[in-house]
Structure formats: C-alpha cells, structure tokens
Amino acid sequence: MPDNPIYDIIIVGGGLVGASLAAALRATPLKIAIIEAAPWFTDKRPPSYDDRIIALNDASHKIFSGLGLWEKIAPEATPIKQIHISDQGHFGFTNLDSKDLGAPALGYVVSARHLGESLKEILANSSIDIIAPAKFLDINQSDNLLNIEITQNKQRQTLQTRLLVAADGGTSKVRQHLGIKNHSIDYGQTAIIRNVTLEYPHKNVAYERFTPSGPLALLPLQNNDCALVWTVASDKTDEVMALDDQTFLKSLQQQFGWRLGQFRQIGQRHSYPLQLSRIQEHTRPRVVIIGNAAHTLHPIAGQGFNLGLRDVASLSEVIIESLEAGEDVGSEITLQAYVARQEPDQQHITNITNMLVQVFSNSFPPLVVARNFGLLVTDAFPPLKKLLVRRMAGLSAYPSRLLCGLPTTNIKYGNITTLN
C-alpha cells in the first residue's frame, strides 16, 4: 500500500452494516476502504457474522433486492407468514398476517452468518479495499481531508479520506474518540439464543411471547427448526446457560406451552447482554455514525439490523446524489441531508422498541391489563393492525431508492471524477 493513501470514503467496521454500505456503493467510481478489526480473508469472520438469527423485514428484503444480493440470501431464508404475539398467563394476544402487509411474507429469517458470507462474496468481486485485520486508532482533521490512523500487523499507518463512516458497533471507538455522547439504558436482561426442533410444523409462523422474565421469540427456520431468542434477567444468565439440555427444554416448554408440541433437539447456546443506546450527534465534520454505533436495540422487535440497513439505504443515496451533483461526498450538506432523512426513523424505532421492553417487562397489574387490552384491540381493529405491520416492516421510513427495491448499481456516472 502506498504511504498515506487517499480514499473518498473509509468505513470503520465490516460488520453487517458497514459491509452493506460498501455493497451499496460498489458500482460508484469512489475509492472506498473498509477497516475491519477481525480477520476477513480466512475462515474466521467479523464477530457479528455468527449464529444469531436475523428476522429481516419487508424493507430489508427490498433493500437487499436493490443491492442485487437477495438471490444469494433467498435459498437460506425462511418466510414469516404470520406473527403470533401473546402474554403468558394473560388473555391478550394478536395475530399479524402477511395479508395485512399485502406482501407474500411479513419478513424472512436468515442467519447472520449467511448474510455476512453473501456480503463478503459480493465485495470480493468489487474494487472495495478490505483492510483486515486492522484497527481504527485515531482521527485528525487536515484541510479538506481526515487523517485516519490505524494499526495493522502491529504497525501504525495513516490513511486519508474525505468521509469517515463509523460502523464499528455498539462500543464504537470512533464515537468514543470524538467524545460523542451515547444515551443508554441497561435493561438488566440477556438474550440466550439457540435452535430447537419442533414436534409439530411451524407453518411459517413466528411467535413472540411475553413472559415475566422477559420476551421469548421463536422464529421459523428450514427443516421445521425454530430459532429461539429467550430473554432472561442478566443475574440468571449463568444459571440458565449451565442447565443441562433436558432441564433447559423443560423450562422453555413451561414458558412457551405446547402449541408447537414437544421441543426436541437443541443446538448450541449463545448469550448476548442487552441494552438500548442512541447517540445524540450523528455527524462531526466529515464523519457520520451508522448502524449499532448509532443505535443499539433490544431484539424484542427484531429491528436493530433492519434499522441499520435503512441507515445504509439513506446514506448511500445522499452520497450518490452528491457525486452526481459533483459535490464533495464528505461535505456538511451531504451529511445533513442524511441526518434529515434518517434521524426520524431512528428516533421512532428506538422509542417503540424501548416502549415495548418497558411495557412487557412490567408486572404492575393495571399495566398488565392495559397491554392485554392493547393486544386484543390491535387484533380486532384491522386498520390499526395494518398501520403496526407497515411500521414494523420499515415501510414508513424515508423512501430511498433502495427501500423501494431499486438498484444503485445501474446508475451511469459519465465523466464524474473523484478525488483520486
């Protein structure tokens, strides 16, 4: 690599969000690099390309279609036709159906591992530079560029860029380095994930069951398996993780009931501490923060990555617009256009997610009665149900080109030149 190479865009973090942004911009003439701390070119992979199961909503399905990735994802994606929501030991329930959305499915269930592998495959055939394993260390402004210091193979190196995108996850070093405040709530809950095999067919129904210890979700997978996301109080995590398989299944059966028959085989358990956090400033000169680095959500409504992908759709669009207009991709105008399009969506989804966790993790009797009536009213009132389904599908967000399922790879850039 030459000394101090200059990029138009450096993306710190090659997780699902950073890699998706690179995929969205791969057909532009921009010189782009991803700096990723984890190994990339071996069998090892970035930490979030793991066994967690992601429920992609309709907006994400459209965005991945626009990115030209859906055909790679589809063979391993299981459609969700219905979502059954219930409150353990109480009368309330509601059923959401793909007909309420007017789409073949409410969403699709796919492993983070498969999403990550599909992204890596598409980036391997692009001109994006992947600098990995390498860590972001420091950032300094110089004229119209940023100097980014990284470490790779124990050596420090400086790269220059017109725009730095921080997609380095919930503990973002870029955010910390810039002193950007992060409003966070620790729910004292941990998600335990694991695949289970069912006795009865799941019929592509996803289940969200609120229990006194926290929400429990079962997402349909291929071969009549389900992905379990079980939220427990953090001080009980070690105990639940240490249970032998039979006791674990028995306890799960007690919480969920027998609607799907007996839970049978189970896969490996993994645990993730849960919190909500949201940044208070989205940009600094020539820097923008996206994905979990900007907002980390409880998985109660399966919205974290879906929202991060809409950050990608909005940001890639303003970058392409500034490129077409012959403007600087890192300018204040570009970054403010992104904030104007994406901040309302981020606020809305973090507020809804927080409200769901607070309301459904609370056993205050009047609130329990109110939330059960809420579930029944939603079930009985189709316009309300349609509104809810549309919001959770991500379709009320800014209608970027990608969110409308339109590609970003077929734009003609003519004689547009970039910095390099």
Ligand X SMILES: Cc1cc2nc3c(=O)[nH]c(=O)nc-3n(C[C@H](O)[C@H](O)[C@H](O)COP(=O)(O)OP(=O)(O)OC[C@H]3O[C@@H](n4cnc5c(N)ncnc54)[C@H](O)[C@@H]3O)c2cc1C
Is 206 a residue that touches ligand X (CB under 6 A)?
Answer: no
Phi and psi at residue 330, to the nearest 5°:
-100, 10
Compute the least distance from the CB of residue 251 to ligand X, in Å. Answer: 18
Element (H, E) at 82: strand 82-87
Considering only residues 193, 198, 260, 389, which one is a binding residue for ligand X as defined by CB under 6 A? Answer: 193
Please identify, among the stretches 3-11, 12-20, 68-76, 371-379, the one whose residues bind ligand X according to the rule CB under 6 A. Answer: 12-20
Compute the least distance from the CB of residue 74 to ligand X, in Å. Answer: 17
Is 229 a residue that touches ligand X (CB under 6 A)?
Answer: yes
Chain residues 323-352 in contact with ligand X, contact rule CB under 6 A: none
Closer residue to ligand X, CB minimum distance, 132 or 323: 132
Residue 366 CB burial class (10 angstroms; 0-12, 13-18, ≥19): exposed
Compute the least distance from the CB of residue 325 to ligand X, in Å. Answer: 28
Interacting residues of 281 by C-beta distance below 8 A, sequence separation 6+: 180, 181
Closer residue to ligand X, CB minimum distance, 52 or 386: 52
Is 136 a residue that touches ligand X (CB under 6 A)?
Answer: yes
Compute the least distance from the CB of residue 383 to ligand X, in Å. Answer: 26
Chain residues 15-54 in contact with ligand X, contact rule CB under 6 A: 15-18, 35-38, 46-48, 52, 54
Alpha carbons within 13 A on the beta-carbon side of 33: 21
Rounded CA separation 219/280 (Å):
33
Compute the least distance from the CB of residue 57 to ligand X, in Å. Answer: 7
Contact 227, 53 (CB under 8 A): yes
What DSSP state is assigned to residue 107? E
Compute the least distance from the CB of residue 402 to ligand X, in Å. Answer: 16
Is 191 a residue that touches ligand X (CB under 6 A)?
Answer: yes
Is 273 a residue that touches ligand X (CB under 6 A)?
Answer: no
Closer residue to ligand X, CB minimum distance, 150 or 335: 150
Considering only residues 13, 214, 215, 330, which one is a binding residue for ligand X as defined by CB under 6 A? Answer: 13
Contact 110, 77 (CB under 8 A): yes
Closer residue to ligand X, CB minimum distance, 190 or 323: 190
Nearest residue (beta carbon) to ligand X: 15
Rounded CA separation 34/18 (Å):
8
Chain residues 150-169 in contact with ligand X, contact rule CB under 6 A: 167-169
Considering only residues 11, 12, 30, 320, which one is a binding residue for ligand X as defined by CB under 6 A? Answer: 12
Phi-psi region of 295 (alpha: psi -120 to 50; beta: other; left: phi over 0): beta
Is 55 a residue that touches ligand X (CB under 6 A)?
Answer: yes
For strands 145-152 and 214-220, give the pairing: unpaired
- Alpha carbon 131 to chain centroid distance? 23
Is 106 a residue that touches ligand X (CB under 6 A)?
Answer: no
Rounded CA separation 39/153 (Å):
12
Q: How far is CA 410 from CA 27, 250, 271, 317, 414, in A?
A: 8, 53, 41, 13, 12
Closer residue to ligand X, CB minimum distance, 170 or 374: 170
Binding residues for ligand X, rule CB under 6 A, total: 37
Closer residue to ligand X, CB minimum distance, 29 or 170: 170
Contact 151, 25 (CB under 8 A): no
Closer residue to ligand X, CB minimum distance, 94 or 277: 277
Interacting residues of 72 by C-beta distance below 8 A, sequence separation 6+: 118, 121, 122
Site string for ligand X, 288-307 (x = CB under 6 A): ---xx------x--xxxxx-
Per-residue DSSP letters for 288-304? EE-GGGTEE--GGGS-H
Interacting residues of 228 by C-beta distance below 8 A, sequence separation 6+: 192, 193, 194, 195, 196, 216, 217, 218, 252
- Alpha carbon 339 to chain centroid distance? 18
Closer residue to ligand X, CB minimum distance, 226 or 323: 226
Closer residue to ligand X, CB minimum distance, 202 or 323: 202
Compute the least distance from the CB of residue 382 to ligand X, in Å. Answer: 26
Closer residue to ligand X, CB minimum distance, 114 or 418: 114
Contact residues for ligand X (CB under 6 A)? 12-18, 35-38, 46-48, 52, 54-55, 135-136, 167-170, 173, 191, 193, 229, 272, 291-292, 299, 302-306, 308
